[in-house]
Amino acid sequence: MEGNIKLMREDGLRLDGRSLNEMRPIKIQTGVVERADGSAFIEWGANKIIVAVYVREAYPKHAQNIDRAIVKARYNMSGYSVEERKRPGPDRRTMEISKVVSEALSSAIVLEKLPRAEIDVFIQVLEADAGTRIASLTASSVAVADAGVPMRDLVVGCTAGKADGKIVLDLSKDEDNFGQADIPMAILPRTGKVVLLQLDGDVTEEEFNEATSMMMDAMPRISELQRNALMSKYSIEDGE
């Protein structure tokens, strides 16, 4: 990350015209993959991500947990999802994102209700434009709920960071590339429990607090989109 590229306009807005605490537009849909037990599609700015969830008995048998389910999220970027063709296959970043998403989802799922099960969460990034781990997690949570898996809460996340020395919400690709910090965070909104928090770059304690409070303010709006996505599916089915 570099700090000497201009990311703020003269009028105090960001390069894409957003104010400091403005999110990119978000759309969430459920039931997009017929064959999956649950699925979701999220558009978050220019990010486009599909999540398909399958619930089955864990195999081989020795991999089962006799008293609870195992959650396996697999994050995958399509070759055409980024400017330069992404080399196929898992790399360190892909494995890291799969791990943090699996762990965050595990905190929300009532694992004891599904002993011996494996919950497979396939995340396919069709287009990436910064913030994919959080967009993936936010959509995965909806897809898992869509699969009828018992959950304590819907995990919701967003990012904040530092660009041109200012704390901003929901980093754009330029802000992610050329800003001074990137802080993705996810919570369980009912309890406020933090289930994912990463920091790339450097911020002061005061800036960190400003970033987290900006994110906490934005979370309820994203949660509402998640709930609406789940409810609109059921209301259409009820009307049939």
| Total interface residues for ligand ADP by CB under 6 A | 14
Kindly tell me which residue out of 118, 146, 164, 176 binds ligand ADP, with binding defined by CB under 6 A.
Answer: 176
How far is residue 234 CA from its own chain's centroid?
23
Which residue number, 117 or 142, has a Cβ lying nearer to ligand ADP?
A: 142
Q: What is the 3-state secondary structure (H, E, C) of the chain?
A: CCCCCCCECCCCCECCCCCCCCCCCEEEEECCCCCCCEEEEEEECCEEEEEEEEEEECCCHHHCCCCCCEEEEEEEECCCCCCCCCCCCCCHHHHHHHHHHHHHHHHHECHHHCCCEEEEEEEEEEECCCCHHHHHHHHHHHHHHHCCCCECCCCEEEEEEEECCEEEECCCHHHHHHCCEEEEEEEECCCCEEEEECCEECCCHHHHHHHHHHHHHHHHHHHHHHHHHHHHHHHHHHHC
Kindly tell me which residue out of 7, 36, 55, 130 binds ligand ADP, with binding defined by CB under 6 A.
Answer: 130
Is residue 138 a contact residue for ligand ADP (CB under 6 A)? Answer: no
Which residue number, 147 or 159, has a Cβ lying nearer to ligand ADP?
A: 159
- Closest approach of Cβ 19 to ligand ADP, in Å? 21
Is residue 84 a contact residue for ligand ADP (CB under 6 A)? Answer: yes
Of 4-12, 98-106, 126-134, 207-215: span binding ligand ADP (CB under 6 A):
126-134
- Closest approach of Cβ 75 to ligand ADP, in Å? 9
Which residue number, 43 or 182, has a Cβ lying nearer to ligand ADP?
A: 182
Which residue number, 6 or 85, has a Cβ lying nearer to ligand ADP?
A: 85
Is residue 157 a contact residue for ligand ADP (CB under 6 A)? Answer: no
- Closest approach of Cβ 132 to ligand ADP, in Å? 3
- Binding residues for ligand ADP, rule: CB under 6 A, are 82, 84, 86, 93, 128-133, 173, 176, 182, 184
